[in-house]
Structure 1
């Protein structure tokens, strides 16, 4: 599979019933700007699918927004479910395999106001949502991802001392959201106690997988993990400590899945004290990462060695204002993927992040990850030259 990926909240716009939407509006907030209309993809989704098709790609990954489907607890929107079913069917009509993500960081506001993933009923509630979605979307879904990067906060915090000001703002933001929601605790993915969230999220994954298989036993189910190319520096590197904390609990569960989604953007150097800074003089992306496209090859090999599962590259790319940098990144990254596949690693696909320049969470609309630019005033899509490079690589591989 060759494709591109998006996430609902980052492209659809006006996801007003979600937890993240509230945090964007509340004071204080860590978000640099609100998502607003985003890329207007809730209305322009057909155009997005047509762009993927025009680039010789055969797969489109997108997420369904739980807060649109169930904006209030127990209140299910058949209109929203029909909307996502139309997207799935349109993908098939365009010759694209639709890969559906059930939770790409966001949840309904009512869910977060109940304590989010720490509420004892959270796994059961999520599994019910998963069953509802798959039952409605039908036989045309290609693959399902339950959770996107449930290890992201662990990855970001491991070996680092949190900025006290950022931590305080996070605490105050969540407290303000709880007050606005009339709840005691407002909790969502990748905030709060990351270690304590692992168990309930993995239980939700298990229950969701079972619910999905109850509807469609043939449907491949997995999760995605954030996995940089970790490289040990020196004999006392803490790399294995990091792996045991950040990946191992998820790898154990992933061994029961049909595939594992790997999401890699760069490498991470690990020394005796933990993470090391990007090497002096190294080329950097807008996110501050080192330009290191070959990282995805090592991540693929490591993830497969640990789980024995087929690997789907569910995100890989970089943030840059200069599309010639992306044009250099794509051939090197895809070559690393194909090299791992040629070695015998069961790589089932490569999905570039992202299809569109979109809302990049705390960073707002500054970072440009897209193969396609989006005019912030008119939402006009313009395919970048780098997208044609990916198109040629995909066409060449698919014609083999």
Structure 2
């Protein structure tokens, strides 16, 4: 039966009795995402600034795409897309460059950013830790020491107290599993202290969650986790963070980029940093949402990050265009919604190209910026800008839209369900 169903999908055969896929509706929220360290430039001493200077990654961040001086125009670009959510982060090292001593200029920068987001008519989504912590915290031992949890909570509480007026959505830790993995990879945490780091992140999240709800009643708080398209791995990863946090998640935040199937294992290119060579099966977001809904029943879901990587020239070997990938992805969000999955928002990663944790080669931006070859750092719209405007205006892709790529047979994004219950185009 599985083989027959997959064959029907591949030729686009669906039952005439199946309902057409409607738009997402007026309550659904579209957004864009970025992080401070990856986009701002003019960074203060931190673990990631040191990784670049020490040669532990291929390339230093430099001044990234200079969001620090261009935040007004970039936020205006986001608003022009018609999105309602603007995700960014407050960089701990910028506001507390030495332990216990805040920098008023650092706080003033984020005051201006958050005010600009609100004045532009968008809802801030503030990330409190996007894998970066100050150099002084590194010198004290980072997550190798129990006291790191208290320092992180103290910083986060100051951010919450300062910006609760904007009623933001909150992300405590961005992809905590990846945070741990990268700290291990680059020497920030010793192997014997991995459990200490994981436990410290969970404890910090729970403390920050409680503080946010004291200061901002009715707030929505989560910690987004990366969904890996590797058979059998996801349930174990979920046991490290989201399952331990589930009673302090007001929604489940999920990031997803790459696909994996019995006929395509090109996701392995990601290990080489050539993410644009990893094939995309856009229906994988449907499997992700269905899996999350089953693992966290009753929890609303927000897609915190999703997008498409291209090479430095904006190209991909498979010819997939950013606009088509965006429309195809939104179609599958609509299919998930149609099937009763409570997905409430979607953020595109990213508004502009930025520093992708070691180099500028992988391009994810709706607006492309050539940080390596263009000193002007001009923002140039990709074909997805017009596509996103159409999507936000209509609340999705039109009824009757068909993805440019049909589902692959037996996706391994969520086994066995993705093979036993394959996605169907309607």
Q: Same fold (TM over 0.5)?
A: yes
**Cα displacement (A) at 1:372:** 0.3
Matched, 1:12 2:56: no
Q: Deviations over 1:214-273 (max 9, x none)?
A: 221222110000003455xxxxxxx1xx234211232321342111211000224599xx
Structure with max Cα Rg: 2
Matched, 1:3 2:1: no
Give the corresponding residue for 1:222. Answer: 222
Give the corresponding residue for 2:331. Answer: 335
SS in 2 for 1:151: helix
Matched, 1:120 2:172: no
Q: Deviations over 1:141-183 (max 9, x none)?
A: 42010000011267899xxxxxxxxx9xx5xx64xxxxxxxxx
Provide the alpha-carbon RMSD of the alignment. Answer: 2.8
Within-5 A mapping of 1:222-371: 222-231=222-231, 239=232, 242-252=233-243, 253-269=245-261, 277-278=265-266, 286-308=275-297, 309-320=299-310, 321-322=314-315, 325-362=321-358, 364-371=359-366
Does the Cα contact within 8 Å between 2:167 and 2:216 map onto a contact in 1? no
Within-5 A mapping of 1:1-400: 1-26=29-54, 29-152=55-178, 174=187, 186-187=188-189, 194-231=194-231, 239=232, 242-252=233-243, 253-269=245-261, 277-278=265-266, 286-308=275-297, 309-320=299-310, 321-322=314-315, 325-362=321-358, 364-376=359-371, 377-397=375-395
**What CA distance in whole angstroms lies between the structure 2 residues aligned with 1:298 and 1:7?**
26
Q: Deviations over 1:332-362 (max 9, x none)?
A: 1111112112222211100001111110012
Does the Cα contact within 8 Å between 1:228 and 1:268 map onto a contact in 2? no
SS in 2 for 1:43: helix
SS in 1 for 2:172: strand
Q: Which has the higher contact order (CA 8 A, sep 6+)?
A: 2
**Cα displacement (A) at 1:194:** 4.4
Give the corresponding residue for 1:183. Answer: none
Q: Deviations over 1:49-92 (max 9, x none)?
A: 10001111111101110000111100112322222122112111
Q: 1:198 to 1:270 in 2, by over 3 A?
A: farther
TM-score (norm 2): 0.77
Does the Cα contact within 8 Å between 1:81 and 1:136 map onto a contact in 2? no
Give the gaps of 5 or more residues in structure 1.
Answer: 158-166, 175-185, 232-238
**Cα displacement (A) at 1:307:** 1.8
TM-score (norm 1): 0.82
Give the gaps of 5 or more residues in structure 2.
Answer: 1-28, 399-426
**What CA distance in whole angstroms lies between the structure 2 residues aligned with 1:270 and 1:198?**
32
Does the Cα contact within 8 Å between 1:3 and 1:59 map onto a contact in 2? yes
**What CA distance in whole angstroms lies between the structure 2 residues aligned with 1:93 and 1:70?**
26
Does the Cα contact within 8 Å between 2:257 and 2:306 map onto a contact in 1? yes
Give the corresponding residue for 1:178. Answer: none
